[in-house]
Amino acid sequence: MKNLFLCVIVLLLNIITQAQTTQVEIMDLAVNPGIRADMQSDTTDLIVLFKIKNVNLGAKAYYYFGTVQDAGDVLSVTGNIIEQSATYYLQVNGVQKEILGYTATAFIKLNNAQNSGFNYLTVFVEDNNGLITDKLYFQK
């Protein structure tokens, strides 16, 4: 009887946990310096890319530049995932880039203090139900 009770509890916990998990998945974070025509000497442009599965369920992408993981104490940027005519885009700081294949791209400008002040970039996505994906980390 104890084993049956334990199995029922484990099964219920598994169902509850799965109901709280987003179907959106992100992976393969890459951060590269960007070169743009309007580049200023006191700023750094970063190209931040990640792959996203089930983009149709995504709502927002979060970029936390921090002194430690999961902190946006240096800079926090939020992007919106937008669908137009069955094509998905990531819009960050007014720049809208098509999500090609599974790759989402953002251009993020940092001033010199922000660039030298951050040690970690934390990236995650919120789905249209308010649930968040696992977090991806870049360490400078």
Q: What is the pLDDT of residues 85-117, one digit of tens each?
A: 999 999 999 999 999 999 999 999 999 999 999
**Interval 47-56 mean pLDDT:** 96
**Interval 13-42 mean pLDDT:** 74
Give residue 34's pLDDT band: very low, low, confident or very high (50, 70, 90): confident
Residue 90: CB atoms within 10 A of its CB come to 26
CA 45 and chain centroid, separation: 18
**Interval 45-64 mean pLDDT:** 96
Beta strand 58-66 with 75-84: parallel, antiparallel or unpaired? antiparallel
- Give the chain's domains with CATH numbers: 24-139 (2.60.40.10)
d(CA 65, CA 119): 7
Query: What is the pLDDT, as a whole number, of residue 113?
Result: 95
State how far the alpha carbon of 72 is from the alpha carbons of 21, 28, 89, in Å: 24, 20, 24
> Is the model's pLDDT at 73 over the cut of 50?
yes
pTM value? 0.83
